[in-house]
Structure 1
Amino acid sequence: MINDPEMMSALIKPMRADVEILETYRPEAPVRLACPTTLLGGEDDPVVRPDLLERWASHVHAFVPVLLPGGHFYFRKSLPVLIDLVVSTLRPVLRAMPR
């Protein structure tokens, strides 16, 4: 891809826009989600350390931190566990929805 000038030309503008958003976005007011939230992280993540997940507490109504084996890309090692977690979390919600 790096050696393809046409592809790089097509990607550079959206990539610059993404970086600009990351550097300049400031929320107008804190947002607090009114739904229970499951926060996932890797036990050995050097970037998003498990203690940083606790910072979400002020942004959500209720949260459950779940640490999975692995680092920043924990889902690679823990995909079956992650899928089971998503399914078990969503199953009661889906059952309660009107048909």
Structure 2
Amino acid sequence: MRPGALHRGRLYHVHHKRLYAAIGEPDNRKRRPAPIGTLASRLMLLDLVLDEPSRLWLGTSCDKRQSFTELDGDKRLDDVDLPHLRYGIGRDRVLRLFPTSSRSAR
């Protein structure tokens, strides 16, 4: 991939399932190919995160879920109380937490 008018840079999409499995995210949606605009946005976000090491960063839906479900006392939230989308029916039903889609949570 050669972004930019002068084609001076290169982006490498690291997507091997074993690498993501090593960090506990074997089915992370970031493994999928993405348009150059999305990749640029992700790089800018990474730059921000690395520039602010003192801030808590909840990067994955697992991180966000853990943060909200491990609250003390009556503030604890269940999965269905978190932003989510539901896919499938019956046994194949999946609850996707913290979707980034522009569609509203159902």
TM-score bucket of the superposed structures, by smaller chain: under 0.3
> Between Structure 1 and Structure 2, which shows a larger proportion of helix residues?
1
Q: Structure 1-normalised TM-score?
A: 0.26
CA radius of gyration, larger in: 1
User: 1 or 2 for the larger relative contact order (CA 8 Å, sep ≥6)?
Assistant: 1
Q: Structure 2-normalised TM-score?
A: 0.25
